[in-house]
Each structure stands twice: as C-alpha cells, then as structure tokens.
Amino acid sequence: MISGMVVGAAGSLLTILMAQAMNRSILNVLFKKFTVEAAGKPGAIVGEEKPAQASDAAIDMRYAKSVIIVPGYGLAVSQGQQKLYDFVKLLVAAGVSVKFAIHPVAGRMPGQMDVLLAEAGVPYDMIFQLADINDQFATTDVALVIGANDVVNPAARTDKSSPIYGMPILNADKAKKCYVVKRTAGGKGYSGVVNTLFYLPDTLMIYGDAAAVCGEMVEAVKSLGAAAA
C-alpha cells in the first residue's frame, strides 16, 4: 500500500509539472481530447518541406558562430545522445558557441532530456531551460532541432484554433537558420498537429534516424580537418 501511494504521488506530481509546462489546467490535460480540425485542413500550410544533407548541415554549423540544439523524444528513441555530443565537441573545438535548449515536456516526461544529455556527459553549463534561453534564438546562427516536434511548433503562438495554442514553445523558428532532424517527411507531432516550423523559408529538413544523422555530421566535420591536414 505504501509503495502504491509513493507511485501515485509521483505520477500526480509529473502530471502537474506537465500541465504547468503546457499552460493547461489539470482537468484540461486529463479530460480534453486533442483535435486537429484547423491544423489538418488542406491549404492551411504555406510552402513545403525542404530536404538537406546531414553533411551540409554539419559544415554549416562548423562555420557558424553560435548553435542552439533542441533535443526531443526522437533522439532518445535512437539513443543518439553520445553521437550528438561527439558532434558538439567538434564544434566547440572549432570555436563555435553551442548550447542545449530544454523544453519542460520534451520527450515523454519532465526531465527526460536532462537525463539523456547527462548520460552522454554533456556539461551542465551547456544545458538551458526554456525561460533562460528562449530570447537567445533570435541572435543565433543555427538552431538544430533533433527529434523534437510539438515543443517548437509556432502554431502554439499564432493559431488560436490549434489544440496546442498557448503552450510555451522554444523559439527555434526565430534563429537565422533551422535544421530539423526527423525520421520521415510529414509535419505532424505526437499531438497530431502539423508543425508549421517545417515549412518556413529558413528551415531545412534532414530525414533519418537521429543517431545515424549525428554520425554523418561527425564524419563530415572530421573530414574537414583531414582535408586541411
């Protein structure tokens, strides 16, 4: 009975934290269904997804001054956190300023991304929470969204008919350029809402498993050093 009470209390606390992060009441989270009426209508999206190669994105970031990385559930599923940090270390060694931006509900529970990055050995001073880093996207050369979706969807700011309207998001769309790593084409996230970030003029899509993409980016940057030598 005591064990059950502890588990129940922990579950309740997680629910409260997620509700706060989504700017929703507990009743709204527990009982209101997601609908995608407006987001799913044909013609609601302007533009198209623009594919890019992992190697090209890696070289672009290698010569950038600043990069902000937004990790998400797709990174966790692929277990690509170590490859990602290997890539980050190459960027830092080249003089690039790299930071990680964490959304409170990225993944499937609060704190999942923090644990994921800690497992890879990412220093704590490189990891920033939403409130502490969101204003920095506007002055950042490249945002790399890797495995995240709903937490960077600009529709949460602009589309009052969207079920995620009002949810705080990371401002990846305000960076000078944004690369999104996603397994397949198609702009819907876990909520079923089309992600308008994917269709913006300055967003490029890299399709593939997150771990494999990170591996390709590592090799692309290493090849620059080999060529110089």
Alpha helices in 50-184 (DSSP H): 54-62, 73-78, 81-93, 112-120, 130-133, 155-158
- Spatial neighbors of 35 by CB under 8 A, at least 6 apart, are 163
- CB burial class (10 A; 0-12, 13-18, 19+) of residue 38? middle
Clarify whether 150 is annotated catalytic. Answer: yes
CB 101 within 8 A of CB 128: yes
- DSSP lists the bridge partners of residue 205 as 51, 180
CB 69 within 8 A of CB 103: no
Catalytic residue among 60, 86, 114, 150: 150
| Tally of CB atoms within 10 A around 219 | 14
| Active-site annotation, residues | 150
